[in-house]
Amino acid sequence: MSALYATEAQLCAEFIDAIGADWTAYAETYGWDILLVRKADGFQIGIQAKLSLNAKVLTQAVETYAWSEMPAPDCRALLVPKGYTRDLEPITAYIGLTIIRLMPREERSRYHAFRPDLPTIERWFRDEWHEWAPSQRCPLPEYVPDVPAGASAPLQLTNWKISALKLAALLERRGFLLRSDFKHLRIDHRRWTAPGTGWLRQRQDEQWGTTAPRYIPGPHLPDFKAQHPRVYAEIVADIAKWGPADIEAPAS
């Protein structure tokens, strides 16, 4: 274990703080601890964080992402603390993996918190970054994840979770959900409405003059809002864009 960092999550957090404004960090996305996306053109770097390197780590990294027809980032890298042994660096370069070395805070300058620098459109570091030329890049979630990168049991912001957050926003706004809401968001209602889950329960609300079922919270509905507070706030702010026709934008 690194003497500088107790966990890989701590290593990731310091690296993300240092990447600068030209990149967006998608934590725990498409199998990577960090999927970096260059804002100017969508160029991607997939990063796995490790406190130490060994042959097994390299083998896993290559095998996991070796399928040529699957979506993949343009470059692949391993994030490690400065001071790791460089015995494996010739091998990583040969197989197309870049080693990113994060410097201790006391050794960082205004421009360099890690080595090598990230590639820019204007400048390419041919000896340090290796393009894999994927057939397609990794698909990105609709919202930037608000989860820690490199956690041992990562909480991921999947497309399903984003739909669940939207349902939670509708439920908070209206006080109930309709079967049509699930269809609108293209999410299977059965996981939510089956009696055994306890997520939602059905209520016949006579004041609406209809027998159409309305679903209200059950005793075991997960607190999706608490899992992703920042993304939930962004979803609520965008409700007029994605919500059904009866939902209005929140008052400013």
Taking only the tens place, the pLDDT of each residue in 163-186 is 999 999 999 999 999 999 999 999
Please tell me the predicted confidence (pLDDT) of residue 147.
95
pLDDT over 60 at 66, yes or no: no
Answer whether 0.95 is exceeded by the pTM.
no
Please state, in angstroms and rounded to a whole number, the distance separating the CA atoms of residues 227 and 252: 25
Q: Determine how β-strand 44-49 pairs with β-strand 32-38.
A: antiparallel
Q: What is the mean pLDDT of residues 211-216?
A: 84
| Structure token digits, residue 211 | 């027998």
Highest mean pLDDT among 86-95, 116-125, 174-183: 174-183
Confidence grade of residue 112 (pLDDT, cut at 50, 70, 90)? confident
The separation between CA 195 and the C-alpha centre of its own chain, rounded to angstroms, equals: 31
Please tell me the predicted confidence (pLDDT) of residue 208.
53
Higher pLDDT, 249 or 14: 14
Residue from 117, 49, 45 nearest 75 by CA:
45
Please tell me the predicted confidence (pLDDT) of residue 167.
98
Please state, in angstroms and rounded to a whole number, the distance separating the CA atoms of residues 110 and 223: 41
Tell the burial category of 139 from Cβ atoms under 10 Å away from its Cβ (0-12, 13-18, 19+): exposed
Task: Tell me which amino acid residue 238 is.
Answer: D
Domain borders along the chain are 8-115, 159-242
Please state, in angstroms and rounded to a whole number, the distance separating the CA atoms of residues 191 and 197: 7
CATH number of 8-115: 3.40.1350.10
Q: In what order do the strands lie in the sheet with 75-81?
A: 23-29, 32-38, 44-49, 75-81, 97-102, 114-115
Please state, in angstroms and rounded to a whole number, the distance separating the CA atoms of residues 227 and 148: 11
Confidence grade of residue 213 (pLDDT, cut at 50, 70, 90)? confident
Please tell me the predicted confidence (pLDDT) of residue 204.
66
pLDDT digits (tens, 9 = 90+) for 135-152: 899 999 999 999 999 998
C-alpha gyration radius of the chain = 22
Confidence grade of residue 153 (pLDDT, cut at 50, 70, 90)? confident
pLDDT over 80 at 236, yes or no: yes
Higher pLDDT, 53 or 14: 14
Please tell me the predicted confidence (pLDDT) of residue 217.
96
